[in-house]
Chains A and B, each alone.
Chain A
Amino acid sequence: MKLPHFEYEAPASLDEAVALLVAGDGSARPIAGGQSFVPVMAFRLAEPSMLVDLRNIPGLDKIEITDAGVRIGAMVRWRDVLDDARLVEALPLLPAAIDHVAHYQIRNRGTVGGSLAHADPAAEMPTIALTCDAVLEVVGSKGQRSVKAADLFMGPLMTSLESDEIITSVLLPAWPADRRWAFQEFARRRGDFALAGIALFYDEDASGAAHNVHIGAISVGDTPLRLAKAEAVLNGRKIDEAAIAEAAAAASAEVDPSGDIHASARYRKSLVGTLLSRALQGAANRKAK
């Protein structure tokens, strides 16, 4: 499958990149690692008039850790996330999830910004952003604005971004050191897209009851999802066997996945419950530091 014809520019600044997208009037597209968009073009799911390569724009490839949290530049690659030892303390859920993204060679090019813009409900990063209440910074012809992950994902491969907007970074809010968390996913083969996955965290009060429960699900809807019913089951409760069983049942009941050649809808529904109970057990048993 050869690619469709397009023009190509690799501007050296965000302003120029935005100007090229504006001139393209919806038919010019940014390209980051190309690990999703090149296949998309090969399959003719998109035939852009121009690709605006973000690789020469300075400043998009940094991971910054501050009191506000972890700010990840749009052009940070999976490989950079996994190589950054600071993240294991600063935001352990992130590397644990990214460890499941794709394969060695793809991790050398695929980027955080590209994955968020691609908005694949089966991908890890969109669900992590949603689960962690992340906020994206984007720049477009109308200037800069912040977009909550919760307002970003509209459908499979669809976001609320304008066609001239470029993601520059994403902020994952600061993570208390004693927060409990877990990531669980099931795929046929390591590195393949998940049949289903669960990302979660919660904090505990002095009595050991959970609060601030955040549960995100991968690959069981048109967008990444928060499992509000399962969260409601757990908020204010101790995470014991009964609570886990109840939350798992709630999670299976509240998702409405579709089936495909990889797994039936019923299987995915049941898998969500299983993964949630494994994740909760993992989070509850993890030694607090």
Chain B
Amino acid sequence: MKVDFEVNGRAVSVDVTPRMTLADCLRHELNLTGTHIGCEHGVCGACTVIVNGDAVRSCLMLAVQAKGAEVTTVEGLSLEEGLTPLQEAFKRHHGLQCGFCTPGMLTTLHALLSEEPEASEERIRDVISGNLCRCTGYIPIIEAAMDARAAYQQARGDK
């Protein structure tokens, strides 16, 4: 089936079988391997991408269901010229070690903070409870998110 959608601001057209998940489509058809696949059944959160503004599990969505959607992957959250404030905060707080969970953490937190730049620590903890990390113990990730809020608050103010 031919499916047209947008990934990171670029129009794409892929020919996929219905059984292909959006995660596999991004990785294998579009070579966007930043989206990681851990469990393939919705439990780990590594595959999180942003579809029409909402963070979703790309292993639980079919590529054919992305028809007409705007998809943002972790690749779409970085800048050519340097680190984004969220990436900078992850670096400063050691929010990653092996990096496997990081794409899911960044997409989830970007979706959250774009919509709720004032999110409380409790809210952030609740939101990333759906993302597993085997390395950091989560605290540095929460600290990074708390730190990055200022940039999202400012971005909202500038609009």
| Contact status B126-A8, CB under 8 Å | no
- In chain B between 39 and 54, which residues have their CB closer than 8 angstroms to a CB of chain A? 40-42, 45, 48, 54
> A190 vs B124: C-alpha distance in the bound complex, in angstroms?
13
> A51 vs B61: C-alpha distance in the bound complex, in angstroms?
13
Interface centre among B20, B40, B65 (most CB of A within 10 A): B65
**What are some 17 contacts across the A-B interface (CB < 8 A)?**
A1-B40, A3-B19, A3-B20, A3-B21, A5-B17, A8-B64, A10-B64, A38-B59, A51-B62, A53-B65, A55-B65, A103-B130, A104-B129, A105-B57, A105-B130, A108-B56, A109-B57
| Contact status B56-A105, CB under 8 Å | yes
| Contact status B129-A190, CB under 8 Å | yes
| Chain A residue at minimum C-beta to C-beta distance from B51 | A108
- Distance in Å: Cβ of A60 to nearest Cβ of chain B: 16
| Chain A residue at minimum C-beta to C-beta distance from B61 | A34
| Contact status A105-B48, CB under 8 Å | yes
Check B73 for interface membership: any CB of A closer than 8 A: no
Check A142 for interface membership: any CB of B closer than 8 A: no
| Contact status B41-A8, CB under 8 Å | no
- Distance in Å: Cβ of B142 to nearest Cβ of chain A: 14
Check B32 for interface membership: any CB of A closer than 8 A: no
- With a cutoff of 8 Å between Cβ atoms, the chain B residues found around residue A26 in the complex are none
Query: How many A residues, CB 8 Å from partner?
Result: 29
| Chain A residue at minimum C-beta to C-beta distance from B42 | A39
Interface residues of B (CB under 8 A from A): 1, 17-21, 24, 40-42, 45, 48, 54-57, 59-62, 64-65, 67, 108, 112, 126-131
- Distance in Å: Cβ of A6 to nearest Cβ of chain B: 6
Check A4 for interface membership: any CB of B closer than 8 A: yes
| Contact status B57-A106, CB under 8 Å | yes
Check A102 for interface membership: any CB of B closer than 8 A: yes
- With a cutoff of 8 Å between Cβ atoms, the chain B residues found around residue A163 in the complex are none
- With a cutoff of 8 Å between Cβ atoms, the chain B residues found around residue A53 in the complex are 65
- Distance in Å: Cβ of B150 to nearest Cβ of chain A: 22
> A3 vs B1: C-alpha distance in the bound complex, in angstroms?
16
Interface residues of A (CB under 8 A from B): 1-8, 10, 34-35, 38-39, 42-43, 51, 53, 55, 79, 102-106, 108-109, 189-191
| Contact status A105-B55, CB under 8 Å | yes
- With a cutoff of 8 Å between Cβ atoms, the chain A residues found around residue B18 in the complex are 5-8, 51
| Contact status A108-B55, CB under 8 Å | yes
List the 3 closest pairs (A to B, CB-CB), nearest first: A103-B130, A8-B18, A108-B54
- With a cutoff of 8 Å between Cβ atoms, the chain A residues found around residue B1 in the complex are 8
- With a cutoff of 8 Å between Cβ atoms, the chain B residues found around residue A4 in the complex are 19
Given A3-B19, A108-B55, do A103 and B45 touch, yes or no (CB 8 Å)?
yes
- With a cutoff of 8 Å between Cβ atoms, the chain B residues found around residue A55 in the complex are 65
Interface centre among A2, A3, A51, A79 (most CB of B within 10 A): A3
- With a cutoff of 8 Å between Cβ atoms, the chain B residues found around residue A51 in the complex are 18, 62
| Contact status B127-A8, CB under 8 Å | no
